[in-house]
Amino acid sequence: MEEHHAGLMLRDAMLMLGFAMVAVLAFRRAGLGATLGYLVAGALLGPHVLGLVGNAEEMAEVAELGIVMLLFVVGLELSPARLWRLKGAIFGLGLAQVTACGLAVTATVLALAGYPLAAALAIGLPLGLSSTAQVLPMLQSGGKLRTPFGERAFAILLFQDLSIIPLITIVAALGSGAEDGPSGWMLGALTLVAVVGLVAAGRLLIRPLFSLIGTLGERELFIVAALFTVLASAVVMEALGLSAALGAFIAGVMLADTRYRHELEADIEPFRAILLGLFFVAVGMMLDIGVIAENPLFVIGFAVLLIVVKAAIIMGLGLLVKMRWRAALALGLLLSQGGEFAFVLYTQAVQGGLISNEQSSLFGAIVTLSMAATPFLMIATRKIRQEPQREGGEREGPHDEGAGALVVGFGRFGQTVAQTLLAGGLSVTLIDRDDAQIDTAEDFGSKVYYGDGTRLDLLRQAGAADAQLIMFCMDEVPGREFIDSVAETFPKATIYVRGFDRKSVIALAGSKAEYVMREVYESALALARMALENVGLSEREIDEAETTYRENDRKRMDVQIEGGDIYAAKEMTRQQQRALRGES
């Protein structure tokens, strides 16, 4: 009997992988993305179409490991310091999105379906969540995860994952089995204890473990340790009744600032990709075609309404945090679908007697349709979300010309840098987003591509992966997190940054930029040398004066960087000034 069951599992796995491979190839060729291909493959395999594979719920439970591994990989890209920097977006924008969308969709359920308030909440609140498993891979593949746009999307998704715990508590409290489960306060306390415990385990156990394995040089053992870390953190959280994906995410964050980060990501990626694909196949298998056939207008209409309501609310929130309207629209559309955690919460609602199995299947179909619609929405609105065409036609974006250097910003500073590099025999790709500057450059024979050089996907498009140098010469000084992201994404390139003043140098201290140059520093020194020469000082005296200034400036800068404040060296500056004037 066990052998028969094992044989069926092998056959089912073979069919799922085979259908998924064919469907993803077809949908990729059509430009519709892999997720939709997986969903269609699952729908065809499931009991409501061909019926070749059963037990969709059991398959989904196994394939949910893909979500766990996805969150681990995302955690690897977020150091604790960066995560702390995002706390405002996570608990501000994320909380606003979950609350506003959940209540708005609940009101829609009340108005259209006429369910009791408890049932409407059990259905509507889960629909306020989006699909982490769908959106994060889209951000990663587009190179946008570490851009300001991607960080806002990720902050919302992370808060949604955190909100699973209180949402499960709410659904349990609304249902008949509320007294059997732990209270919301208890779940909150468990979450805090579990997070602290995982952080401590990461510091005291996991990091030393990887250090030991690193000294042995055993590749297979490293993969085993990586999988163990993911699964152990997920199991601990699940045993406490919490989110397994959250546990894996915390484990990833704890390893984000170690030297093993890139190797861990490479080891986990194949498992993550396969299991995440199988998860979407299982979601497609659970799509009840019969329910859609019985209520086509309601299912399709509500799916459309869900997308419209969520996109409008999220776009509004984006505008409130000063996003450009096109970026806010893109954020709204990207997060407008229902998410995989809706299936978990609907199961809880059925067990609590809040909704029936039929209602769970009905709104599960709506979630799946909304997820399937996302790739079409992003394709259909691409022109709207892009910057409009400018006078004289649309600007040409950069492409990979095999250049040795990328110069971002072609103003007075960037022009000097670029022309010097060209004089040294390097090939250079020039990028700017100022139309007038591009037109002026072209009048003088320079080819400057239009684009935002602070986007990782655009840098990749311009050939940053193989460039030797990336020079940021814009007026707006890039932030430290962005510079570090560029260095990690394009490890072959050495990064130089044009700073504006001492504050920008302090802000980028400790970043992965090779050097940060204050734009007027050397020119001011050159002018001072000319002035000293004019008043009759010898070359030796001028050299001594310049050396004294540079040493004093370096000492002040060291103190300011250590203190993180331009005023940290105030007393030192006064002492140096008194010494230069010969005062005691």
Which among 21-35, 302-316, 427-441, 498-512 has the top mean pLDDT?
302-316
Q: Alpha-carbon distance 375 to 34, whole Å?
A: 9
Give the three-state DSSP class for 517: strand
Both tokens of 86, joined, read 């995002």
Q: What is the mean pLDDT of residues 94-102?
A: 94
Lowest mean pLDDT among 111-125, 227-241, 303-317, 465-479: 227-241
Contact (Cβ atoms closer than 8 angstroms) between residue 8 and residue 53: no
User: Tens digits of per-residue pLDDT, 421-431?
Assistant: 888 888 888 99
146 versus 324: the higher-pLDDT residue is 324
At 143 the pLDDT is: 62
Q: Find the mean pLDDT for residues 333-344.
A: 86
Average pLDDT in the 43-70 region? Answer: 72
Q: Quote the pLDDT of residue 4.
A: 44
- Do the Cβ atoms of 22 and 32 come closer than 8 Å? no
d(CA 510, CA 354): 54
- What's the pTM value of the predicted model, to 2 decimals? 0.61
| Mean pLDDT for the stretch of residues 236-243 | 73
Mean pLDDT of 46-67: 71
* pLDDT for 315: 94
- pLDDT for 108-145, tens place per residue? 999 888 888 989 999 999 999 998 878 877 776 666 76
User: For residue 349, what are its two tokens?
Assistant: 């609602």
Question: Please, which residues have CB within 8 angstroms of residue 278's CB and are 6 or more apart in sequence?
Answer: 16, 17, 20, 38, 59, 62, 63, 66
Q: Say yes or no to pLDDT of 247 above 80.
A: no
pLDDT per residue over 532-544, tens digit each?
A: 888 888 989 898 8
